[in-house]
Structure 1
Amino acid sequence: MSIQRTGGCVCGSVRFVAHGEPARTLQCHCRFCQRMTGSTSYAQSTYPMEAVRFSGEPMSRYSHSSETSSKQVHVHFCPRCGTTLSLTFERWPEFRAISRGAFDDPNSVSISTHIWTSSAQTGVMLPPGTDCFQLARAAPDGSPQTPECFDTPRFARSDA
């Protein structure tokens, strides 16, 4: 039996079902994600595009040009309450990110990676045993980057 996770926006106008396990769940600390959420970061679970189905109100979309790759990042959100539900990517058209906080049970997916820790806000702690990347998991040319992994919790910024 396949795992299903459900979720939706604050007002309930948009709902989704995600089938199977996410490829990964990460927390991004880049300035775009900070601005998009109005918070310290954005937590997302990445699924193959065909693994997620939405219902209810059609979502609105905002497109942003990535400062690193110059590729479009598309933010999908509820037109009524503004909840960010999903991101899609010009760079990875086969994947959709689902906002971890939009799951009915956000704790059903564990964060395995922190990215863009170099731009994390003051006071952000990185947990032990988690892959942490100063920038993205991959360079603009697609080559994988090497993560740091700590034995104890650590501030993302040394000026914290």
Structure 2
Amino acid sequence: MEHYQGGCLCGAVRITTSGPPLRVGICHCRNCRRHHGALFYAAAIFPAQAVHVEGRPHHYKGRHFCGTCGSSVFAQTGDEIEVHLGSLDNTNGLTPEYEVWCRRREDWLPQFTGTACHDRDRDGD
């Protein structure tokens, strides 16, 4: 069974996943940019029951982060958890298959190989 581990910068929040992700994607939306302080971010989406969290993350509107170091670790929407690839110890095998909010994508970014690009969300172009 596949397992991924990761956490925040200071180690106070740790996550472990079990099984493969449902999907892996990249987001260029304005909210994700502001939350991560980056031009885009990548996440592996797992069923909530497949993610074990150790520690006590703080949260704001479903976005979970370490209250000590401020690292963004994961987000939860309904019964899915988006594990931020940047918070994982090893991302081997987690290749993004799609991009969302490509209308906000910087035009100088190189194209990612093998990703479907959606103007907005995957289900609502």
Query: Structures share a fold, TM > 0.5?
Result: yes
Indicate the residue corresponding to 2:11 in structure 1.
Answer: 12
Higher relative contact order (CA 8 A, sep 6+): 2
Report Cα offsets for 1:102-139 as digits up to 9, x if no partner: 11012341111111010112422222321111111012
Indicate the residue corresponding to 2:85 in structure 1.
Answer: 100
Quote the Cα distance in structure 1 between the aligned partners of 2:81 and 2:96. 16
Give 5+ residue unaligned stretches, structure 1: 64-73, 140-144, 146-160
Aligned length: 125
Give 5+ residue unaligned stretches, structure 2: none
Q: Quick check: 1:49 aligned with 2:34?
A: no
Quote the Cα distance in structure 2 between the aligned partners of 1:7 and 1:136. 26
Q: Quick check: 1:137 aligned with 2:122?
A: yes
Indicate the residue corresponding to 1:24 in structure 2.
Answer: 23
Indicate the residue corresponding to 1:88 in structure 2.
Answer: 76
TM-score in terms of structure 2 length: 0.94
Indicate the residue corresponding to 2:59 in structure 1.
Answer: 61
Amino acid at match of 1:79: G
TM-score in terms of structure 1 length: 0.74
Indicate the residue corresponding to 2:98 in structure 1.
Answer: 113
Quote the Cα distance in structure 1 between the aligned partners of 2:99 and 2:110. 10
Larger radius of gyration: 1
Quote the Cα distance in structure 1 between the aligned partners of 2:80 and 2:17. 12
Amino acid at match of 2:100: I
Shift in Å at residue 28 of structure 1? 0.1
Shift in Å at residue 15 of structure 1? 0.7
Structure 1 residue ranges, 4+ long, deviating more than 2 angstroms after superposition: none
